[in-house]
């Protein structure tokens, strides 16, 4: 039978190491194009997937923050205004701060739940619950 230390070393080699710092989470940068008066975010579905939030919720937030009408179209978001990518990236960072990152531990492992009509950000990593003060 192998020694405990040898078995432990084998196990550590097979386990994927996860960083304990909060900088492991990065929002994908916006990829898109301007066509006429419209701005098309082509990787919108990828961003929504990485944030683990419904695309409709993110689209509604962006439309309000950017003061532009828009629609979802097969994984893309089409906004009816000309925008540069820096401004859109800034709004994605604001969304992430308000709806994704835990204010206690800083991790992105959270979910938005409704308790008694109040939207709450519940962190799955540390268990913290914080009300979301942004309404739209």
pLDDT for 72-90, tens place per residue? 998 899 999 999 889 999 9
Task: Return contacts of 24-33, CB within 8 angstroms, 24+ apart.
Answer: 25/101, 25/107, 25/108, 27/51, 27/89, 27/92, 27/93, 27/96, 29/85, 29/89, 30/85, 30/88, 30/89, 30/92, 32/85, 32/88
Spans of the chain below 70 pLDDT: 1, 15-24, 136
pTM metric for this prediction: 0.77
| Sheet of 118-123, strand order | 110-115, 118-123, 129-131
Rounded CA separation 27/130 (Å): 22
Q: What is the pLDDT of residue 23?
A: 53
Please give the structure tokens belonging to residue 42: 């082509």
Q: What is the pLDDT of residue 8?
A: 84
Report the candidate in 24, 16, 17, 18 with the shortest Cα–Cα distance to residue 101. Answer: 24
Report the candidate in 21, 29, 47, 49 with the shortest Cα–Cα distance to residue 106. Answer: 21
Please give the structure tokens belonging to residue 128: 């913290």
């Amino acid at each position: 039978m192998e020694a405990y230390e040898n078995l432990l070393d084998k196990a550590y080699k097979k386990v994927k190491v996860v960083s304990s710092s909060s900088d492991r989470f990065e929002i994908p940068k916006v990829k898109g194009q301007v066509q006429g008066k419209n701005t098309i975010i082509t990787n919108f579905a990828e961003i929504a997937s990485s944030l683990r939030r419904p695309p409709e919720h993110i689209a509604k937030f962006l439309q309000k923050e950017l003061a532009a009408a828009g629609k979802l179209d097969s994984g893309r978001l089409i906004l009816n205004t000309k925008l540069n990518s820096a401004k859109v990236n800034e709004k994605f960072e604001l969304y992430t701060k308000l709806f994704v990152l835990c204010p206690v531990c800083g991790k992105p492992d959270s979910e938005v739940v409704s308790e008694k009509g109040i939207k709450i950000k519940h962190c799955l990593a540390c268990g913290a619950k914080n009300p979301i003060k942004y309404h739209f």
